[in-house]
Amino acid sequence: MEQRGISAAILVAVLVALGIAGGIVCYVLTLGYGTTLTPAREITGTWQTSFPTTFYIQTDFQTGELQDVGTEERVVTWVITKGSSENTVNIEQRFTVSSRNLVSGSGYIPDVSPSFFQGIISGSRLTVISGSRIVGEFSFTSDIIQGTWDDSWSMVYSQRVYTSTNGLILTRV
């Protein structure tokens, strides 16, 4: 006899996955506090670092575990546009690398520029996300955005690019 329909196990797995994904989005939107605050000020526009910023690089190429393999100095530009609500923005990030110092055989494959992210604003806080990953936590005023960048991804090998705490500072252009 031919059986049709979705099994209960598959249905439960799909609902759990959707619930987890929805929970992540809800947590990010409310920053874990249950409410999202009205943006403290307008941040749409162009922002840029005033000087090259050190980004630290890790790969798991040599040992199978992420380890520091070098640094690069980046000049970063963000173009921020309105998102789908007053608490969301779209971020186009462009950067140029002025110097890169890597250990031999690091396996580092540079990330691309431009890249595109979504920002969630609550008060004077900006959380930058890529898909379901938080890649940056920032605070902002009318003319400065400052915070920590921490992005990781896997291709053939896992990689991580990050700044020191509050090491990425952009000013309104």
pLDDT at 103: 94
* Residue from 129, 144, 126, 136 nearest 162 by CA: 136
Q: Which residue has the tokens 């990781």?
A: 152
Rounded CA-CA distance 146/169 in Å is 4
CATH code matching the domain that covers 37-172, chosen among 1.10.260, 2.60.220, 3.40.720, 2.40.128: 2.40.128
For Cα atoms 8, 9, 14, give the angle at the middle one, nearest 5 degrees: 100
Where in the chain are the domains? 1-35, 37-172
* Residue from 9, 81, 18, 96 nearest 44 by CA: 81
- Answer yes or no: is pLDDT of 111 > 80: yes
- Answer yes or no: is pLDDT of 9 > 70: no
- Answer yes or no: is pLDDT of 99 > 70: yes
User: If you average pLDDT over residues 69-73, what whole number do you get?
Assistant: 97
- Answer yes or no: is pLDDT of 17 > 90: no
Q: For the ranges 21-35, 92-106, 148-162, which has the lowest average pLDDT? A: 21-35
Rounded CA-CA distance 110/157 in Å is 12
